[in-house]
Each structure stands twice: as structure tokens, then as C-alpha cells.
Structure 1
Amino acid sequence: MAIYVVMEPPGRAEKSDMTAFIRDGFSWLGFLVPPLWLLWHRLWIEAALAFVAMALLSVLAEALSLGLAGPLLSLLVSLYVGLEGQALRIAALRRRGWHEWGVVEADRLDDADTRYVLEAETHPDEQAPAPRIVPDAAHARPAQMGIALGLNHTPGRP
């Protein structure tokens, strides 16, 4: 069974049919043709970076006359996009304001959609997950630094 990450658009009340299901796993097309796969998924900057990286690695290998190592260096970019391409898609959707509803386990995309709809109907009152709360660094430090001798000093106590 495959795992699908369910991403909901920012205004999910009026765009419930726009939910994106992104299969978590290796992308063979991303491995075979990385820049084209990235362009297909509207990852413009990532596609440009992949193209430039592959071109630079090919030129560098040719300039240093590395022989077979040149294509193998470009293969590293392909391998990265194949392994992390779906995570790049999820990160791009998060930057656009989408939020992660959760994950669904299913054999096919149609089954994942059905499971998502059934689960969303059983819990319609749940809101989007609360944003992560990052502690303030000012509260982590002691208010006053006292003289410290030894290993068991308690800050703020004389």
C-alpha cells in the first residue's frame, strides 16, 4: 500500500474539490527527467536549479576529462529529485498557504480520495492543526547571571 499526503488549499471551505494527494515515495519520472518533472509540477525555481546543476556537473566533468564520472555526477541530481521530489512538492504547497490534513494509506489514488472523503465526513468539526509554537529565546535565559562556582549552580540564586 502507498501513503498519500493530503494537502488542503488555504480556503478549504469553498475549494474542497481542490485537495491535492501527493504519493510519498520514489518518483521514477523525477529520476529519469528531473527538470521536466519539476516543471510539470510547477516547481520553477527547483527545475532551474536542477538544470543548472546538471549542466555545471557535465561541463565540469568534461573540462576535467573525468570520463564516466561525468554522467554519474549528473545522476546524483536525478537521484535527489527521484527521492525528494514529492517532498519538494509538499514544501511548495506549504509556501503557497496550503496545509497538511494528514496521510491516507491506499493502493490507488481513487481509494485514497474515497478514504479521505469518508474520514473528513466523520470529523467535519475539526479545524486546521494549530500552528507550531516556538518558545521565545528570551524566556529560556535566566534573568540574572550570578557567580558560578562548581557544576551545580542555579542561575538567579546567590
Structure 2
Amino acid sequence: MVTYTVHEPPDPGSDRADRGVELEFVKDGFSWLTAICPPIGFLANGLWLFTLAYFVGAAALGWVLSTLKLGPQMTGVVFLIINIYLGFEISTLKRWMLEQTGWQALGVVTGKSIAECERRFFESWLPTQPIIAGEAAGQSGSSVPPVPVRRGSRFWPFGTRR
């Protein structure tokens, strides 16, 4: 079973279909990619600021460990421990970053896959959302504009992910 937290952007659309498209599902659990190479794991999750912080912190820690005259084996063990810790905490960092940018947590959902988690969440969430008049009359297919393709990262400073 996998667990996802569901987050909504700070300025959600008025239509429940638009709001549903904008939701972000953040998987809770260990990230092998982040444990093996944290900068790539951070970039894969759109956390470019943490990528820069990792490089600065790794350089500073490497300098401190060399100043303390620790051997390369001990330095490797220290970085291994840090990378494993980051593998466990990547989802927490992503949720924290979403919260800092104004996103709201809507809930937690579990299932066997992302598809099942999305289905379970929307089955309980959609009935509580308001229906727009055109959607209630059965005209939602003709008046709804196409959904834009999402590219990039919502944390990237050069544009939004919409």
C-alpha cells in the first residue's frame, strides 16, 4: 500500500474539474533516487532550491571533514548517512515547500497504486464540491476549455507549472 497526501494550489479554479486537475499528489515514503543522488532526486521533485543548498552544504561539510583529518572512508560514511536520511525525508521537504508557497493540504489517501489513490480521493472529494450551472445542465463538454499541458516545476523561479 502506498500513501499520498493531496494538496490544492493557493488560487484554485472555481470549477471542480479545474480544481481537480490542479491538485498535487505527493507520495509518502522512501526515494531511492534521492538516497543514491540527492541533487537528481531534488530536481525530479521540483526542489531546485534544495539542490543548490545540497551542493553548498556538501562542499562545506567536505571541507569541515577534511579539516578534521577524517579519511575518505569516514567521509563516505557520513555522506551515505545523510543521503539515506534525505531519501526518507524528500516527501516531507516537498510538502513543506508546497505549504510555504501557499498550497493547502486536503487530505491523505492510501491505495495499491497512484491510480487507485486518485480514484479513492476523487470519489470522496468530488461530491462535496460545487457544480457550475453549465456542468449541471450537461453542457460541460462544450464549454470547458482544454487543459494545458503541465511542464517544468512549480518551484522553478522562471514561470509556473501550468
Q: Deviations over 1:106-138 (max 9, x none)?
A: 11111111111111123226xxxxxxxxxxxxx
TM-score normalised to structure 2 length: 0.69
Offset at residue 9 of structure 1 (A): 1.4
Considering only CA atoms, is the larger Rg found in Structure 1 or Structure 2? 1
The equivalent residue for 1:48 is 52
Looking at structure 1, the residues matched to 82 and 58 of structure 2 have their Cα atoms a distance apart, in angstroms, of 7
Within 5 Å, give how 1:72-111 maps onto structure 2. Answer: 72-111=77-116
Looking at structure 2, the residues matched to 39 and 82 of structure 1 have their Cα atoms a distance apart, in angstroms, of 13
Question: For 1:119, which of 115, 124, 127 is the aligned residue?
Answer: 124
Query: Which ranges in structure 1 are unaligned for 5 or more consecutive residues?
Result: 126-158
- The structure carrying a bigger helix percent of its residues is 2
Query: Which ranges in structure 2 are unaligned for 5 or more consecutive residues?
Result: 131-162
Offset at residue 96 of structure 1 (A): 1.3
Query: Once the two structures are aligned, what percentage of the paired residues are identical?
Result: 27
Looking at structure 2, the residues matched to 83 and 4 of structure 1 have their Cα atoms a distance apart, in angstroms, of 14
Question: For 1:16, which of 10, 16, 20 is the aligned residue?
Answer: 20
- Once superposed, what is the RMSD of the aligned Cα atoms? 1.8
Looking at structure 2, the residues matched to 115 and 17 of structure 1 have their Cα atoms a distance apart, in angstroms, of 15
TM-score normalised to structure 1 length: 0.71
The equivalent residue for 2:31 is 27
- Structure possessing the higher relative contact order (Cα contacts under 8 Å, 6 or more residues apart): 2
Offset at residue 65 of structure 1 (A): 4.0
* Letter aligned with residue 22 of structure 1: V
